[in-house]
Structure 1
Amino acid sequence: MAEPWIRTDECDAREFRNTLGSFLTGVTVVATYDANGAGSAFTANSFTSVSLDPPLILVCLGKSYTSIDNFLNCEKFSVSFLGEPQRDLSSAFASRDPEVKGPAIASLVGDDCPYVEGSLTVLICERHNVVDAGDHIILIGRVERFTAGESQPLGFYRGAYVGIGPDVREIEQLRDPLIVGGILSHGGKVLLCRQPGSETWDVPSTKLASGERHGAALHRRFRELDVEIGASVPYSLFQEPGEKSTTFYFWVQTEEEPETGTVGEAESALFDAEDEPWTLVHGELKQAMIKRFFDEMAIGRFGVYFDMMEDGGVVALGDKLHSWQDWNASTLSAQKKPRSGG
């Protein structure tokens, strides 16, 4: 039986990235000081050794990384191998939210070069060479000194953290992560995004990190597009044919019209029904979901879709979103009302 090969010129960047995620890696934090002595750091799993003599290693960072110049021009940088207890710290260094990443940057230690204290291993490197490689930069460092501790390493596999130790059951029991996304509508239009150079648009979505609440994940994803969202209501839960991940989409609210354009690594735009945006995205069920949203928006009647074994089902949404306190209070009040006999 022939392998189901997928051509890279016929798939989007996300599908290729997900495939690369099936290679189990460790997790590192790469750090340096900028010209003003402020720390700069990012989480990376694209690390490898290059040479023993001389002692060379490399890491890769995207060209869209806002602080890339600090690493292109630095004299020294560090690579900290994270241990299993440092999952939250890894997520903090990977965040684009200043309120999340700021405290992580402030926790860096080191005089001539910052690094993550308490790491499994730390390499202090002199910048040896920089190589241009597509949408990334390969930063090659010559290891000047290193320190190694005792801990269980932190692994990364298919978009999720895993612990790696004598007991490998966590890896064996790993399930594909839940993807959460948000349908944002404003003025009869829906917001979609895409990677630069891609012809395929998508509903803003992200993989739910270990221990992360869906609301935080949605806010994180939309902030990457410079969009602030408010309440979110469940709208559609399904699994695309041929895909392992389950996707949970929410109808998200915003008070102001979102700004569109290119922000960081993504481009966003608003589409109305005449644009037929459901034809611009990949995935049969996702296309049907966007089409359904426009149909329901036209008549002002919405429902929540749930994927089932042979077909899908829809539960009608009520009049508006109520806070839990208000809903609970009204429910208790209704329960206390006397029932008429009969």
Structure 2
Amino acid sequence: MTIDPRALRDAFGAFPTGVTVVTTHDHAGNPIGFTANSFTSVSLDPPMLLVCLAKTSRNFGVMTGTARFAVNILSETQKDVSNTFARPVEDRFAAVAWSDAPGGCPVFADVAAWFECSMDRVIDAGDHVVLLGLITSFANYGLNGLGYARGGYFTPMLAGKAVSAAADGNLRIGAVVERDGQVLLIGTNPVSLPTCDAGAEDPAEALSAYLEKLTGLQASLGFLYSVYDDKSDGHQHIVYRAFLSDGKPKQGHFLDPATAAEKASDRPTADILSRFAIESSIGNFGVYFGSETAGKVHPIPVKRA
């Protein structure tokens, strides 16, 4: 079987993960670090964890030769920290408050938790290596972690708030079904998002079943995108991001969201499509709360100075 690396990467991206920054000091004593979401707890006795590192990483030589390293679990206010340590910035540590853990590895302020480890072994794994660490110290601050899936950040706090906001009322469930930068829409002019009534079912289950029946393809839901009360139709609306398996849908067609916004069947749909066009271009998604005419987009919050 021939596997397309890009398609495989996209499939891996369906699994929601936390976001970490792995740190140590180089031979000259300078702090180094990189963003990683391939982090896993391994064992409680002995206490162990692992993180994966690409062989192409500029930190590869230092990280595979170090005796100790730390894993910082970023909190939901630290999207900017994740971005900084994922980019080729010369002085990444100038943008974050940090100190040395007991063993000397850099650990950050405002994280959800951190772990300092001694290197147990480095395991070869294809185009990556696995850094297996024996935990020697840690701290847990009780904060929610920053999440990542399908190329975008999310936070548990915003997702929970959105569900609570729409828990009461007559629910309609819709989806921004995305593929290669385009959105699945119903109709030609006007166009609308695929939408169904929730009824007595779980909203997410009802929407998944509806999308699969509508398109004949396998559907998977991402995260909440919009929650609003539409006084014109008397419904509460919840809109999710969603994804379909490969293939041509039985109904609906994929269009550029910015262009499609001009053909939208109503103002909320036009607003959703216009916002999605902007947010998908920068990879930073928020959750809208409000009515069909006014509300607020709650972006993933950034760390305060």
Under a length normalisation based on structure 1, what TM-score does the superposition of the two structures give?
0.47
Displacement of 1:107 in angstroms is 4.1
Residue 21 of structure 2: SS of its match in structure 1?
Answer: strand
**Equivalent residue, structure 2, for 1:119:** 111
Q: Does 1:34 align with 2:13?
A: no
Displacement of 1:152 in angstroms is 2.0
CA distance in 1, matches of 2:79, 2:175: 16
Displacement of 1:30 in angstroms is 0.4
Q: Does 1:86 align with 2:78?
A: yes
| Correspondences of 1:1-342 after superposition (within 5 Å) | 9-98=1-90, 101=92, 103-104=94-95, 107-110=97-100, 112-165=104-157, 167-168=159-160
**Equivalent residue, structure 1, for 2:190:** none
CA distance in 2, matches of 1:131, 1:146: 23
CA distance in 1, matches of 2:154, 2:21: 16
**Equivalent residue, structure 2, for 1:207:** none
**Equivalent residue, structure 2, for 1:208:** none
How big is each residue's C-alpha offset from its partner over 1:75-100, in whole Å with a ceiling of 9 and x where there is no partner? 1110011111001111111112437x
155 and 128 in structure 1: CA distance in 2 versus 1, 3 angstrom threshold: same
More strand by share: 2
Instruction: Answer whether contact 1:153 1:165 (CA < 8 A) is retained.
Output: no
CA distance in 2, matches of 1:31, 1:173: 41
Residue 90 of structure 1: SS of its match in structure 2?
Answer: helix
Instruction: Answer whether contact 1:24 1:156 (CA < 8 A) is retained.
Output: yes
Structure 2: give runs of 5+ residues left out of the alignment: 164-172, 182-245, 264-305
Q: What amino acid is aligned across from residue 17 of structure 2 in structure 1?
A: T
Residue 157 of structure 2: SS of its match in structure 1?
Answer: coil
Residue 78 of structure 2: SS of its match in structure 1?
Answer: helix
Instruction: Answer whether contact 1:58 1:141 (CA < 8 A) is retained.
Output: yes
CA distance in 1, matches of 2:67, 2:176: 41
Q: Please tell me the root mean square deviation across aligned C-alpha atoms, in Å.
A: 3.6
How many equivalent pairs are there? Answer: 185
Higher relative contact order (Cα pairs below 8 Å, separated by 6+ residues): 2
CA distance in 1, matches of 2:40, 2:114: 14
Instruction: Answer whether contact 1:179 1:247 (CA < 8 A) is retained.
Output: no
Residue 48 of structure 1: SS of its match in structure 2?
Answer: strand
CA distance in 2, matches of 1:170, 1:98: 38
CA distance in 2, matches of 1:169, 1:15: 33
How big is each residue's C-alpha offset from its partner over 1:230-287, in whole Å with a ceiling of 9 and x where there is no partner? xxxxxxxxxx9759xx898xxxxxxxxxxxxxxxxxxxxxxxxxxxxxxxxxxxxxxx
Q: Give the structure with higher Rg (CA).
A: 1
Q: What amino acid is aligned across from residue 140 of structure 2 in structure 1?
A: A
Structure 1: give runs of 5+ residues left out of the alignment: 1-8, 181-239, 249-304, 310-342
CA distance in 2, matches of 1:160, 1:166: 14
**Equivalent residue, structure 1, for 2:229:** none
